[in-house]
């Protein structure tokens, strides 16, 4: 027997089982496993000292005039410091500690950022697929498996090489992806500007801006270019020699994929850096045009790997972040095989393939193959998503996902009578009059 009262309508919301949300959201099983996996790699990499931390320490001392020839003349006098001013500011946070302790704290800080980035990507994926019937436990499994491939490369850049500039550029890019999914145009512009302020090659990630609704482009672009100008222009306006820093060259190594294009120059060709940025921007814009904005980071990293004269393993961290975003947000397969192919191709070949020329060919094959896949392979759009180009707007009871129809409403569970032993109104043994229960 049902309650005769009119039932109120309530919006259908994902419960804990469907969304994967627990009462303590940071204590999720896949996050715990990834934390343990990171600790294992941290211990392994910590034995190899932070190879490049001294660049950060020197740069922050120069920036704050603790050494002669610094200040706004930093890049004019030290073009070898291809590191953005934002990275030097963050490196200054570890300056008050003794050098060895500051280095260890920086390693730990950067490792924790990597774990937090996995959380951000997982939440961005959950928000992106909200309202499409996605199985969130399968989504957690995808993040776990892709994250397991991401962690070794992240520890490589954050602990073994201690490249705080690369770490921060990728971290702010991840924040920009999270803001993009949530439809926060200003935050997207700010985070992309901070990424460029940490490392110039982050310019290749700017096509993420195009994934915003067209009406939000001016606001996001104003914040982006305004903050980039505030970070970099003082150095160029006060010391014109700073322009020479952009032409700083490094050796063209035998394992570089660049040699397979016939480039035999002993150092970086003059056209190489602009070509990297132009190719990354073009591929990213094409991805957004084709409704595949989660591929922007991977495509930009591919352009860098394919055209860079150097082959340091920490370069691969940007590729693995790109595959993590693609495998978590850009496709719906349970097994994130693109991430593991990237790890085996780029890191495995550097460790196991003795021929430098073969290593370069493998790098080139991966970059071309992965770019062609994410741009051209047919993709199955999630149920309830039309167009697929831009992330959905946050849902609300009045407006559905992506500005669509209101959320479906259903009546609450009907109340049922439950009879209990006792006495009737007449006092005879029997059952009490039923009362409402849910």
Q: Give mean pLDDT, residues 311-327.
A: 96
The pLDDT assigned to 295 comes to 97
pLDDT above 90: percentage of residues in the chain: 67
Instruction: Provide the token pair at 233.
Output: 């222009």
User: What's the rounded Cα separation, in Å, for the pair 354 and 42?
Assistant: 26
The pLDDT assigned to 398 comes to 39
Residues 236, 202: contact at Cβ < 8 Å? Answer: no
Backbone angle region of 251, left / alpha / beta, with phi > 0 → left and psi within -120 to 50 → alpha: beta
Confidence of residue 388 (pLDDT cuts 50, 70, 90): very low
CA 408 remoteness from chain centre? 32
The pLDDT assigned to 28 comes to 75
Is pLDDT of 391 > 80? no
Is pLDDT of 269 > 50? yes
Nearest residue to 255 via CA among 316, 317, 323, 204: 316
Instruction: Provide the token pair at 419.
Output: 């009879």
Backbone angle region of 262, left / alpha / beta, with phi > 0 → left and psi within -120 to 50 → alpha: left
pLDDT above 70: percentage of residues in the chain: 80
User: What's the rounded Cα separation, in Å, for the pair 271 and 50?
Assistant: 31
Q: What are 225-265's pLDDT values in tens digits? A: 999 999 999 999 999 888 888 888 899 999 999 999 999 99
Q: What are 204-236's pLDDT values in tens digits? A: 999 999 999 999 999 999 999 999 999 999 999
User: What's the rounded Cα separation, in Å, for the pair 182 and 127?
Assistant: 7
User: What's the rounded Cα separation, in Å, for the pair 6 and 91?
Assistant: 63
The full set of domain ranges for the chain reads: 26-376
Lowest-confidence pick of 100-114, 278-292, 393-407: 393-407
In 290-379, alpha helices (H): 296-307, 316-325, 337-342, 349-352, 356-376
435-437/416-418 β-pairing: antiparallel
Instruction: Provide the token pair at 57.
Output: 């320490």
Is pLDDT of 17 > 60? no
Q: What are 127-138's pLDDT values in tens digits? A: 999 888 888 888
Q: What are 158-181's pLDDT values in tens digits? A: 999 999 999 999 999 999 999 999
Q: Give mean pLDDT, residues 369-395.
A: 68
In 156-199, alpha helices (H): 164-181, 185-198
Nearest residue to 411 via CA among 32, 8, 106: 8
Q: What share of the chain is helix, strand, coil (3-state, %, to 5)?
A: 65, 5, 30
Confidence of residue 386 (pLDDT cuts 50, 70, 90): very low
The pLDDT assigned to 395 comes to 44
Q: Give mean pLDDT, residues 4-16.
A: 38
Mean confidence (pLDDT) of the chain: 84
């Amino acid at each position: 027997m049902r309650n005769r009262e009119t039932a109120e309508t309530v919006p259908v919301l994902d419960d804990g089982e469907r969304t994967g949300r627990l009462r303590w959201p940071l204590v999720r099983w896949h996050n715990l496993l990834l934390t343990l996996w990171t600790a294992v790699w941290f211990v392994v990499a910590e034995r190899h000292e932070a190879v490049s931390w001294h660049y950060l320490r020197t740069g922050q001392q120069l920036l704050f005039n603790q050494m002669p020839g610094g200040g706004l003349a930093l890049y004019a006098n030290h073009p070898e410091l291809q590191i953005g001013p934002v990275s030097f500011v963050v490196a200054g946070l570890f300056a008050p500690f003794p050098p060895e302790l500051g280095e260890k704290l920086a390693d730990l800080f950067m490792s924790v950022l990597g774990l937090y980035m996995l959380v951000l990507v997982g939440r961005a994926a959950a928000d992106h697929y909200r309202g499409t019937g996605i199985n969130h436990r399968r989504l957690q499994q995808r993040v776990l498996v892709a994250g397991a491939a991401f962690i070794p490369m992240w520890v490589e850049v954050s602990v073994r090489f201690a490249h705080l500039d690369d770490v921060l550029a990728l971290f702010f890019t991840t924040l920009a992806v999270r803001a993009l999914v949530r439809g926060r145009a200003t935050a997207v512009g700010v985070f992309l500007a901070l990424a460029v302020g940490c490392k110039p090659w982050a310019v290749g990630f700017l096509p993420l801006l195009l994934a915003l609704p067209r009406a939000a482009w001016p606001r996001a672009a104003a914040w982006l270019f305004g903050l980039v100008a505030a970070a970099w222009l003082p150095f160029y306006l006060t010391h014109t020699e700073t322009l020479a820093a952009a032409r700083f060259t490094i050796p063209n190594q035998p394992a570089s994929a660049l040699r397979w294009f016939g480039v035999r120059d002993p150092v970086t060709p003059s056209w190489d850096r602009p070509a990297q940025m132009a190719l990354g921007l073009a591929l990213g814009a094409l991805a957004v045009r084709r409704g595949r904005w989660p591929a922007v980071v991977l495509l930009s990293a591919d352009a860098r790997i394919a055209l860079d004269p150097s082959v340091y393993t920490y370069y691969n961290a940007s590729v693995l972040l790109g595959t993590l975003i693609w495998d978590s947000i850009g496709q719906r397969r349970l097994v994130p095989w693109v991430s593991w192919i990237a790890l085996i191709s780029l890191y495995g070949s550097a460790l196991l393939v003795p021929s430098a020329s073969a290593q370069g060919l493998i790098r080139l094959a991966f970059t071309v193959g992965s770019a062609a896949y994410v741009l051209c392979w047919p993709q199955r759009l999630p149920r309830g998503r039309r167009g697929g180009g831009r992330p959905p707007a946050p849902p609300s009871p009045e407006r559905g996902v992506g500005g669509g129809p209101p959320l479906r409403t259903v009546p609450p569970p009907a109340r049922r009578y439950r009879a209990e032993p006792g006495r009737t109104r007449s006092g005879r043994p029997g059952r009490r009059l039923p009362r409402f229960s849910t």
